[in-house]
Structure 1
Amino acid sequence: MSTYETIKNLCKQHSIAVTALEKELGFGRGSIGKLRNGQTSAERLQKIADYFNVSVNYLMTGEEKEVDPYALTSKDERDIAKDMENIRNKLLNGSDGPLSYDGEPIPEEDAELLLGQIELMMRRLKPINKEKYNPNKNKK
């Protein structure tokens, strides 16, 4: 199976036209069709692979289906980093009041430990929530 046929099958499975995929990814019309001749950049293949949550190897060979649909993606990593920055700013700036436990102020070193635990929790819960709240899990 060629790379183009693999992408075409993925489009069919996800109910999206090839032209709609091109538009979604910001490619020119017919750019995915050029894959029939093997003409594309690794960058474009990576964008397509990220869109369908498969590896570039899968696009090129048709083997190795989706690894883990609930694994953290680069977007998830950015979201977690953004959330952690907001939490860090609120905790350390004291914008919502001083950080304390049982009426005692928490030292800054301990606040960093707390932030580390919050980040660990977010990384563990993200895949669980992706599975639990996946809107497409019941679609066939």
Structure 2
Amino acid sequence: MTQSDLGKLMDVSKASVSLYEKNQRTPDQETLKKVAQFFDVSIDYLLGVSDKRHYYALTKKDKRDIETELEDVLAGVTNKSGINFFKNGAELSDEDRALLEASLRQTITLSKELAKKKFTPNKFRGSEQ
């Protein structure tokens, strides 16, 4: 995206965008909101206050928890005493098992993000009220 394109989006001149990039001028609140919405990030992220794109972004701990939960689920899938998945009467191939793992990881990740989005108190949402 060029400075001119971004300027049109924000209703400012190319020169203003250049000054923003050089930290020689600060955009007003409305301009910040437009940029944050366009790039799908929080204003806190734009300003460097937070390194998380959104308040509901997963932390390193969340990601470790997802991997632990995924391991537990997959242990039940492969364990003879747990749930076994079969395809056409035969055990899953390595490729099918990898696809199942990717699908489960994505599902668990999405459910954690949605829970954070829904249940994070307003006081911890920063600029994304």
Q: Structure 1-normalised TM-score?
A: 0.45
Q: Which structure has the higher relative contact order (CA within 8 Å, separation 6+)?
A: 2
Q: Structure 2-normalised TM-score?
A: 0.49
